[in-house]
Chain A
């Protein structure tokens, strides 16, 4: 058992490069988001003041967002945690680090997702009042569906095929099952609450749905993160 120190350091350097590439991919995604925001603001301005020559800028921004998103997505996929780490797993503690990465992501992503709720609320409001357009449908779907799905994907992901033995670890599967059980219970409670709210104030129920969906995804995610933290505690 055991690798020599030089080999361990080489593997850890590889992990460092992968981590740097992942940060770069996140930065590219962030840039794409900024451009998307600029394009949305431009589109909004052009709707208020038509025929000002903003359409070409809007389409150029859309193209740039597409290119940046594809580039960022490719880089993120290439440097995702666990992509080239089969050998690295032999380094002591690397399995725990991978599980901790997942738990951290499950804790942070729901908090970060709170930022999109106002946008979801505004888009849903516009649709309900009959002023909404295609962009409101798109924004509503993206904000209310994408983020809960992303959280559940992180929870259920079994990683790359060659790392399936790591992600299929018994303890992780047990913790995932418990977290999903708690999540199912929470989803039932949230749905009943949403149903009664809908009977009383249908408009409020529709507006609350994105937050309810996020809550349904957050409960199992945080349950898993908590179980993971508890499993690492010495008793």
Chain B
């Protein structure tokens, strides 16, 4: 069984746009903790939240998230 994890570029996209975690959270309509845990790969977001995050950062889900680990 391969071990696959979810990585993301949220912090890079966010800082590139000059947004704080709280500002992004306000845009997406979630708490800052949600953004923090997703950024740190502690919490895996649902498809709905992933799409909302991508839209808030003007990018695609594929650009924002990627798979890590062995396959």
Distance in angstroms from A168 CB to nearest chain B CB is 11
Give A235 to B43 CA distance when docked, in angstroms: 13
Q: Flag if A92 contacts B23 (CB, 8 Å).
A: yes
Give A189 to B37 CA distance when docked, in angstroms: 31
Q: Which residues of B contact A (CB under 8 A)?
A: 22-23, 25-27, 29-34, 36-37, 40, 42-43, 45-46, 49
B22 / chain A contacts, CB cutoff of 8 Å = 92-93, 96
Distance in angstroms from A222 CB to nearest chain B CB is 18
Q: Give residues of chain A (189-235) contacting chain B, Cβ–Cβ below 8 Å.
A: 228, 231-235
Distance in angstroms from A229 CB to nearest chain B CB is 10
Q: Flag if A231 contacts B27 (CB, 8 Å).
A: no
* Number of A-B residue pairs having CB atoms within 8 Å of each other in the complex: 53
Q: Flag if A171 contacts B26 (CB, 8 Å).
A: no
Q: Flag if A171 contacts B25 (CB, 8 Å).
A: no
B27 / chain A contacts, CB cutoff of 8 Å = 1
CB within 8 Å for A99 and B49 given contacts A1-B26, A174-B43, A235-B42: no
Interface size for A (C-beta < 8 A) is 19
* Extra contacts besides A96-B25, A171-B37 (16): CB < 8 Å: A90-B26, A93-B32, A95-B25, A96-B33, A99-B31, A165-B29, A169-B34, A170-B34, A170-B49, A171-B31, A174-B43, A228-B33, A231-B34, A232-B33, A234-B40, A235-B42
Majority DSSP secondary structure for residues of A touching B: helix
Q: Flag if A171 contacts B29 (CB, 8 Å).
A: no
A174 / chain B contacts, CB cutoff of 8 Å = 43
B23 / chain A contacts, CB cutoff of 8 Å = 1, 92
Nearest chain A residue, comparing its CB with the CB of B34: A171
Nearest chain B residue, comparing its CB with the CB of A172: B31
B40 / chain A contacts, CB cutoff of 8 Å = 234-235
Distance in angstroms from B50 CB to nearest chain A CB is 10
Which of B23, B31, B34, B40 has most chain A Cβ within 10 Å? B31
A1 / chain B contacts, CB cutoff of 8 Å = 23, 26-27
